[in-house]
Structure 1
Amino acid sequence: MDDHVRDLASVREATERLLTAAARLDNASVAEPTRLPGWSRGHLLAHIARNADALANVLDGRPMYASAESRDADIERDAARPLDTQVTDVRESSARFQEAGAVPADWSRTVELRNGVTDAASRVPFRRWAEVELHHVDLGIGYELEDLPEEFTRREIDFLAERFRGHSAVPAILLKEEDGRVTASGRTEGAPIAVAGRRADLLGWLAGRRDGTALTTDGGPLPALPPL
């Protein structure tokens, strides 16, 4: 089982890094685009806040979102708010998530996320950690994939490799990190394609944040990955 207590602490640390960086912005920069097509920094900060509440719902046994439409509408509604309101919302919603995580519970239980996806409750804090870290990068304010904690980068590579494992649209691949660590993903049949590179570049490719041009294969083109 994942160590949810340690992951909750990592979420707190990552959230503080994001809040400290976001507080240096101004109202004009909040309206500027992020690295996610069609989203301003206001959209992204609103999403980070609403995701904290959504994952608190999951831990409390409620639906993650009332509907896909309400999720999108809430983000759109909150996107244009001034910086101080955005920062306060992220801080307060993050505190609510931490409170939900502090309630004594069976962390081995299965919980339901979006679109019928299920997972162990113990993995929800790591999912929140990923939301905070990757979206901090997406804000485009100086925090890059290379700045992510090493533990997070390794675990997120494992998480995404697992997500693509057995996927019919992804050929068998072996992810080879610079220190020699190897992780299998993609289809289980066929000769695997070795994809090698720095951890930050491997994570960026798996997470759809980089195009993979910094990676190498043992022959042939880099496989195309379906959207997450």
Structure 2
Amino acid sequence: MMDHARDLASVQEATERLLTAAGELDNAAVTDQSRLPGWTRGHVLAHLARNADALVNVLEGRPMYASAEARDADIERDARRPLDAHLADVRESAARFQAAGLVPADWSRTVELRNGITDTVSRLPFRRWAEVELHHVDLGIGYELEDVPQEFAEREIDFLTQRFAGHADVPATRLTDGTRAWSTGREQDEGAVTVTGTAADLLGWLAGRRDGAALTVAGGPLPALPPL
């Protein structure tokens, strides 16, 4: 069972790490390319702020975004701001998310996110934690997948392997970091591909942040994963 209160605390800690690190940048660095194609660091920071507000919308019973076009336009509008404006926006939107998350609610109810995806509301704090951790890495400012908390890495691998489980385009695949094992793709059988690597490399591949070159693959080629 999800412990949303504990996850909210983890989100707050991750946000503080990101804000401290981003606070060492300058206005010129905000305009530099991030690790996400087509996005500057300003785009990443703007997205983080708007995502927090979007999750507040979900918590309070409203659509996550007015539309896909409005989401993209808001990020593009805010991306060009100076660093101080970005930091204030990320901090203030994060505080709004924390406040909304502390309101007594039915945490078992199902809510709708982007693109028709549904989930229980109790998973929203973890989803926000993932946004903060992965986009901190995407900023390209010294925080790597090896630096994320172990609990987060393991849980995000769990989440992503579940997301691809049963996917017709993903062959039966077993993943292991030498200690833990996960299964994903089509129904498992004796012909499953086995992918071995560190938790950071497995997470990077599943989350589309690494190409999988550091992974060891047996039983077939490294599966191509559909976009998240």
TM-score (norm 1): 0.98
Q: Does 1:13 align with 2:13?
A: yes
Q: What residue is the counterpart of 1:169 in the other structure? A: 169
Deviation at 1:198, TM superposition (A): 0.4
C-alpha offsets along residues 86-130 of structure 1, whole Å, 9 cap, x if unaligned? 000000000000011000001000011011110000000000000
- The 5-angstrom pairing of residues 86-105 of structure 1 reads 86-105=86-105
Q: What residue is the counterpart of 2:208 in the other structure? A: 208
Q: Percent identity?
A: 74
Structure 2 Cα separation of the partners of residues 56 and 174 of structure 1: 36
- Contact 1:153–1:203, Cα closer than 8 Å, also in 2: yes
- Contact 1:42–1:79, Cα closer than 8 Å, also in 2: yes
Deviation at 1:220, TM superposition (A): 2.4
Q: What residue is the counterpart of 1:70 in the other structure? A: 70
- Contact 2:192–2:219, Cα closer than 8 Å, also in 1: no
Matched residue SS, 1:154: helix
- Contact 1:178–1:199, Cα closer than 8 Å, also in 2: no
Structure 2 Cα separation of the partners of residues 58 and 92 of structure 1: 18
Deviation at 1:189, TM superposition (A): 5.1
Aligned length: 227
Structure 2 Cα separation of the partners of residues 86 and 11 of structure 1: 18
Which ranges in structure 2 are unaligned for 5 or more consecutive residues?
Answer: none
Structure 2 Cα separation of the partners of residues 225 and 217 of structure 1: 14
C-alpha offsets along residues 157-180 of structure 1, whole Å, 9 cap, x if unaligned? 00000000011110010111132x
Structure 1 Cα separation of the partners of residues 178 and 138 of structure 2: 24
Q: Does 1:217 align with 2:217?
A: yes
Deviation at 1:217, TM superposition (A): 1.5
Matched residue SS, 1:205: helix
